Structure 1
Amino acid sequence: MKSKYKQISILFLAIFLSLSLGVRAEDDEHEDEEAISVHENEEESTEDIQKKIREFMSNTEEGAQLRQFIEKEMPKGTIPWVTQQVSENPYDAYEILQHLMEVREEYLDLKQWQPDVAKIFLDYSRSEVLSHLLSMKIEEGDDSEGTRKKLRQEIEKAFDLKLSLQKAELNNLEDEVEELRTLLKRREDARDKIIERRFNELTGQDEHLEW
């Protein structure tokens, strides 16, 4: 099974993790829901939308699995950084959660079929998040040489990991092309036999050979 490597948006991770800090809602009305019901045409307050998202993250198995995945696999410094991002763009947060569910599924798929590539994918995702965290420190005033050096090193690491992912994808494509070449060669060698069998099928000459 082949997988396409999706780039994780740092902003997506930021807003999602901020939502994971929400407390469990007391109202159990939507406890069994598997998705968040948010519609831009409805006149809902920011608090109402945030409550729906937090209920999804706290009261559903899918939301809990997603939250656990992000908290486990992303840099520890991400959660404190995103706390201040809560409630800024609730509709965007809804879309972000949908995106992150796809990211998690992509990683789990890679882990099952291509574990070596899955590790690179996860390392790349962490590196992208950490790069963004370091850039935020610089924007907030920590413009020290040490922080700038760490940021440059992390950017270099992310680039190398992304390049490794692209090479892995290229190798997969080359393997597929080789399989197609082999199949075409076998069909070419069996040309007369395939044509004869098709002729017999269309003229009904093989009906007496059916089981």
Structure 2
Amino acid sequence: MLDWLTIDNVEAVIEQYKSLGPFMGIFLTFIESFVPILPLFVIVVANAGAYGLFWGFLLSWLGTVAGSYAFFLLIRKFGKHRIFRFIKEQQQIKKLIHWVDLRGFTPLFILLCLPFTPVVLVNSVAGLSNLKKKYFLFTLIASKPVMIFLMSYLGSDLRAILSAPMKIVVSGLIILVIWGLGKLFERSLNKRVERDLRTIEKAKKDKLQGM
């Protein structure tokens, strides 16, 4: 496998991908919002390698924003249907929905800025919450560039990265650090959700006792 991973072979694959046209770059990032097993990082890097930093970034950004918003609208319209009941009945999602209703789009913005956030979970929570459509669209438009640009930057000059092993190591470490920071933030967010919900419940009990 590593023997195959040469600059010429990678560039040949990128050229074949480019021949499919820019629509494929948008389509794959769009579909990834519905099928999270697709490797978004690989798709974004391929777009940047095929079309350059600017156009690759733009195609990936348009695709992922459109896909996430379409998934959000789907959940918003059919979220109460029994097909999606298994999503809404998960305890963690219930807590996040309630918390988003209290805190608004700020926590969603931070989560969507992180490259390894489970977007299906975030989009589902947003769709099942009372967050207004225009606010979620604004959140997507504003947050996605951070994640997409970072991935596009790594993929925009694959020859320079692959020709220098140290750059591969540095790029890998950057990705690892971002992943680690994302996980730390998720844990911190979960603790904050639990703390806020406990405070709300305590306030309700105190109010009832005082009546």
Place the TM-score, normalised by the shorter chain, in its bin. Answer: 0.3 to 0.5
How does the TM-score come out when normalised to structure 1?
0.34
Q: Which has the larger radius of gyration?
A: 1
